[in-house]
Structure 1
């Protein structure tokens, strides 16, 4: 290390070049960059600069800052001539190696894609309820009044005598919702619903706070959703559905509960299940 440091210091300071060996002479070449002078002084090779080795003036060196045109190739092999290009054989071997490596990577990736399983697509499955079975959370009830229908689990039955027929109630034990079922005397669902709404004596249009929310009608059914103020239970939402059953009779199925129009879907859910499953006793109903 001391000898190498001395050589480098001599090449920089130009001190007593006559006592140093040929290595220092190579390091003192003013026509070459600093790094090339240092390498030449360490490796004991002839440093070749621009113009075949002739020294250039410092002013010329400052003007010409482009890399030298000739290439100095340093190697441990003493037979290589300084200033020649690297051997073609090494470059060819390097290119061949890169090509083989690239082929190996491609082959490995292709083989892995053939062997590894692809992504599995999972499709959410919707539970399928067989025809005739009640939906989840409901059960079929054979009511003593002479029909069967799907009712939410946990709801309790009660019965009251109406003006023309018994009125059956199924009540929720939690939130005040209820179903109300009875047979009417009218000949069609539309007539039955119109009379219930507009009768001058007991029509529910005469109830305080009455307002229509939704009205629909079909070939064998009519439906009316409305709100009113119940003196005992407060603000109520009612969905009144009149239908012609399989035995030809007209029935009313009414769903009601607390709240306004925003709770319509929650209140009509048990109504839809009851209407879809309703069937008079001892009668074949294709959809039930």
Structure 2
């Protein structure tokens, strides 16, 4: 009976948990290619509001050193930079959606803003419940507590369904809400944070030099620079760039084109007192 429960748990969790200490190669799908090539997005926002949690893929300094020691012709055949760009694009587009949603919230009535904040808090709480529950399932599975792990996974699924329902309510509210009026807030066009038009230089500096803003600024700058670097190294014809393909694959790795134009998902500037980096300026 226990063996059957363990098999069911492994199917629910996407397969048995393998040891991270196992020997892996550069091309192993469990290895984080963003970490090998540059900076993994999961490492940019630790202890911020946008903390992505630990990366599910392997970060091994020995593999990164192995990648950096490869000559250019050897790197060329792997195409890991393209995978890195796909990873960056995913998080940049997610940030852009938050920016658009934040801008829409500035156009709502006070009551609509209150309802939106309630839903956002509920979604955040449910997301935390799901993440903690999944971690608990993994721990229980490693300890052999299969029955308890299955019970916890059932609660995680309930929380995920409740989160999806709140997200649908939030979308419906966003689609039907109207303009509000005298807003004194601006949305940062780089990281999506709210800033007041009345903020002094010290508060603005705290934002522009904060970890979250700098993380998204670095991500956007890297995404902009990679196509130029690839073309400059003569790898353009072998590696599809943002304006070369019909659409981006969802698996994050592999061949395939991109969606979007040559500028990809990049938005405004990277901040400054003049208003660059904000929707609509000052």
Q: TM-score range by the shorter chain?
A: under 0.3
TM-score between the two structures when normalised by the length of structure 2: 0.18
Between structure 1 and structure 2, the one with the greater Rg is 1
- Higher relative strand content: 1
Higher helix share: 2
TM-score by length of 1: 0.18
